[in-house]
Structure 1
Amino acid sequence: MEAKLALGEPRVLISRQAILHNARVIRQSIGPGVKLCAMVKADAYGHGAKIVADTLCHFDGGDTDGFSAPAADQLGVATIEEAAALPLGENSQTPVLIFRPVENVFLGRQREAIELAVRRGWVLTVITSAAADDLNRVAQSINHRARVQVMVDTGISRCGTSLDSLEHLLGHIASRPGLRLVGVSTHFASSEEADDPFNREQLRRFREATDRYAQRDPRLIRHTANSGAIFFAPDAHLDMVRPGIALYGVDPTGTPNIDRALKPVMRWTAPLLMIRDLPAGASVGYGQTWTAKSRTRVGLVPVGYADGYPRMYSNRAAMSVLGKLAPVLGRVSMDLTVIDLTRVPQAVIGDEVTVMDNDPMSAVSVYQLAEWAETIPYEVFCRIGPRVKRVSLEQVEDVEPIADSSANDET
């Protein structure tokens, strides 16, 4: 068969309906009065922060006694740069939490970024008195008051002020006129493991250290629960939860759970770029790691490790064509991957190839791709590169509203 070439490009298809469905599932798990901070860091876990944030913030959340609100009360990002890239206007009332702690305030462009965050009212994370002092000076120099949260380390030993230092730091912040404390948080080390006793120990430490401050200031938002704790530790919901992977339809355990009713948001597709019939003895790809034992029809897919389809998938993974598995042949290269079309003789150039399906039980689900790569779904999502265009499946008018359970009060 003569080789022919199709035009087209890989795409990640993002379902706004699924995003809102997952937010609904989370709302039902946390109940009324608990805020939802949607984690959209790392380009919304590779899903496209602009599409995800627009969906969560700009679609009505349904009416409850005449009240209408977005699906998310707040948005969480890692950096000021990520916050600035969100589709929020300068006068947006959507609170944005920036989780990477403030340091090096006066180093060049970081000063400009800090000023932007303070002017926009974004919440900055502080874990040291020195950073609090620097931030206080910046805020006062532009006649603003910086909104801050304190992250406390209760056992993950990553970033956060120590339990022993918390009281001093909170008092330090309270004495600085350019700062306003709005929240205190911590992060669980093993929240996806429901029976791990260390989860309860971390929560005990956090509550013991912060209960009195919450009693003094009812507006103080305490938050500990990521996706795992939302489902496994209801006593950790406190004032706000921070769903990440669950918003994108993946069970926090890393294995599908139909009873949880989460819907995967992403489907990754690419066109079948070329079809060839190889004679017996022909090899495929760099290093000739696969050789045809008999005449074999193969297809070329414009996806490679530069797009986030790792070289580890060589001779190991598969894609789906017309509902049938097409194993990867030879090494995955930077821009291209060859697949076996033996089971799909009817395939033609231009047919859609499913690189990752949004069916959790699919043979090419994110769970299966993670297993092939010996990693977790988070990483599979996050490494999908910018060459793969993120596209919304639905138009605005096609999206159903999500039921709301709490008002979006200012923090």
Structure 2
Amino acid sequence: MTIEYNTLEVEIDLQAIRNNYRILCEKGSNVYGVIKADAYGHGLVEVSRALEAEGATTFAVGTIGEGITLRKSGCDKRIISLLGPLNETDCTNAAMFEIIPFIGEFEQLEMLAGIAGKHDGKIKICLKFETGMSRLGFSTDELDKLIGWLKENPAIEPVLASSHLATSDDPAYENYMDGQFARFSHILKTLSESGYDVEASLANSAGILVHDKLHFTAQRGGIALYGANPLKDTKWSSLGDGLKPAMQVSTRIAAVRELKKGQAISYGCTYVAERDMTVAIVCAGYADGYSRHLSNTGEVCINGRRAPILGRVCMQLCIVDVTDIPDVRFGGKAYLLGGEGEGTISPDDLAGWWGTITYEAFCLLGMNPRVFKK
């Protein structure tokens, strides 16, 4: 007997993900499928197989551990790890399972060199460069030292180079992005002159859709794969037309209650009824990854209509106003994301009420049980 601990059901439409990948491939070329963090909560293995059916040949995972999971699932395509190795075990596993790690620290290079003698053949790596995120990667000031190290350690073979854009989705920061482009171009030129002609990746989803000059020889398709438009509410928004949200999240109604005018509801009495109302008690709360920040702010979709959240979101429950929605009953469905009719909730709707971005909403809600629509 299977015991269910969650009331939420997360439905992943793999055809939508395939559609979104095709759109990215029409704009770019050699598009990596970014499936880190369990494919942004959409399912690492299932999404990789859907993308492979569309012709994807490179998958970008987060950790070496994710790469091992993907390799053991039967994936024989190229796998790169965006975080790279954090210890010697990661280095050994990267070599053993043919996972190409992102390398942006000399400590990582030294760890790899330490296991190189135990490994048949060269260890392939992706060089990660810092060009404006101020996060991970070798700086341009370290470039000469890096090239010298690589010359002295031929068992470590750079086959890729990458950097990460900070502002590709914001028209107000095009000049900043241009600076990153110039620095990365200089890095690639220096590497080439030193004998390292590598596959180069700078563009993310927004970069693929709007900035052709950033494409280089490969691009990384991330959030757009899952149907969120990274250019929404900018002058470039239409370039994301056609992307289809792949995640839909629903739960059940635990009760339908009458709320009298002047009656408070949920913790802290933060909502007091301004009229006689009908409310539904919905099985979703912060234990399910449905944020408390949605209190008195978010909405759910019931019977094709929007139902506003009243009062505080609880650990496993929230309360919504269904006064003007007919035929709301115990056991009925409430959609936290997606749904039907005019009340459909988009990823951007949910993220906006939540006070966050679609990435976080996907990752958190995707921790619940999933079903896959092929």
Global fold match (TM > 0.5)? yes
Give 1:18 shift: 0.6
**Aligned in 2, Cα 1:370/1:254: closer, same or farther, shift over 3 Å?**
farther
Deviations 1:230-269 (A, max 9, x none): 1121111111100111111111124494552111111111
CA distance in 2, matches of 1:100, 1:192: 23
CA distance in 1, matches of 2:6, 2:107: 53
Check the 8 A contact 1:296/1:342 in 2, yes or no.
yes
Deviations 1:125-145 (A, max 9, x none): 222333212212213224353
Give 1:375 shift: 2.0
Residue 204 of structure 1 corresponds to which residue in structure 2?
182
Residue 9 of structure 1 corresponds to which residue in structure 2?
7
Check the 8 A contact 1:152/1:166 in 2, yes or no.
no
Residue 44 of structure 1 corresponds to which residue in structure 2?
39
Counterpart of 1:244 (choices 222, 227, 231) is: 222
Residue 65 of structure 1 corresponds to which residue in structure 2?
none
355-364 vs 48-57, which moves further:
355-364
Give 1:360 shift: 12
Q: Could you say what secondary structure the match of 2:185 adopts? A: helix
Instruction: Give the alignment of 1:11-410 within 5 angstroms.
Output: 11-30=9-28, 34-57=29-52, 59=53, 61=54, 70=55, 72-86=56-70, 88-89=71-72, 92-103=75-86, 105=87, 111-194=88-171, 196-214=174-192, 220-255=198-233, 257=237, 260-357=241-338, 364-384=345-365, 386=367, 388-394=368-374
**Aligned in 2, Cα 1:172/1:218: closer, same or farther, shift over 3 Å?**
closer
Check the 8 A contact 2:163/2:184 in 1, yes or no.
yes
CA distance in 2, matches of 1:267, 1:128: 39
Check the 8 A contact 1:329/1:338 in 2, yes or no.
yes
Opposite residue 109 of structure 2, the aligned amino acid is A
Aligned identity (percent) is 29
Q: Could you say what secondary structure the match of 2:221 adopts? A: coil
Check the 8 A contact 2:306/2:343 in 1, yes or no.
no
**Aligned in 2, Cα 1:225/1:43: closer, same or farther, shift over 3 Å?**
same
**Aligned in 2, Cα 1:183/1:390: closer, same or farther, shift over 3 Å?**
same
Q: Could you say what secondary structure the match of 2:320 adopts? A: strand
TM-score normalised by L of structure 1: 0.82
Deviations 1:303-345 (A, max 9, x none): 1012221111111111110111111111101111111111113
Opposite residue 32 of structure 2, the aligned amino acid is C
Check the 8 A contact 1:299/1:338 in 2, yes or no.
yes
CA distance in 2, matches of 1:250, 1:358: 16
Identify which of structures 1 and 2 has the higher relative contact order when contacts are C-alpha pairs closer than 8 Å and 6+ apart.
1
Give 1:54 shift: 2.3
149-158 vs 46-55, which moves further:
46-55
Deviations 1:373-407 (A, max 9, x none): 22222222222262x2121122xxxxxxxxxxxxx
Check the 8 A contact 1:325/1:343 in 2, yes or no.
no
TM-score normalised by L of structure 2: 0.90
The total of aligned residue pairs comes to 366
Q: Could you say what secondary structure the match of 1:116 adopts? A: helix
**Aligned in 2, Cα 1:361/1:208: closer, same or farther, shift over 3 Å?**
farther
Higher helix share: 2
Check the 8 A contact 1:304/1:332 in 2, yes or no.
yes
CA distance in 2, matches of 1:330, 1:183: 51
Opposite residue 328 of structure 2, the aligned amino acid is A
Give 1:215 shift: 6.9
Check the 8 A contact 1:329/1:340 in 2, yes or no.
yes
Q: Could you say what secondary structure the match of 1:225 adopts? A: coil
Q: Could you say what secondary structure the match of 2:365 adopts? A: coil
Check the 8 A contact 1:13/1:268 in 2, yes or no.
yes
**Aligned in 2, Cα 1:265/1:358: closer, same or farther, shift over 3 Å?**
farther
Give 1:221 shift: 0.8
Opposite residue 91 of structure 2, the aligned amino acid is I
Opposite residue 55 of structure 1, the aligned amino acid is A
Give 1:292 shift: 2.9
**Aligned in 2, Cα 1:385/1:17: closer, same or farther, shift over 3 Å?**
closer
Deviations 1:135-193 (A, max 9, x none): 12213224353211111111221111011212321342243243121111111110112
Structure 1: segments with no counterpart, 5+ residues: 1-6, 62-69, 106-110, 395-411
**Aligned in 2, Cα 1:117/1:240: closer, same or farther, shift over 3 Å?**
same
CA distance in 2, matches of 1:250, 1:360: 19
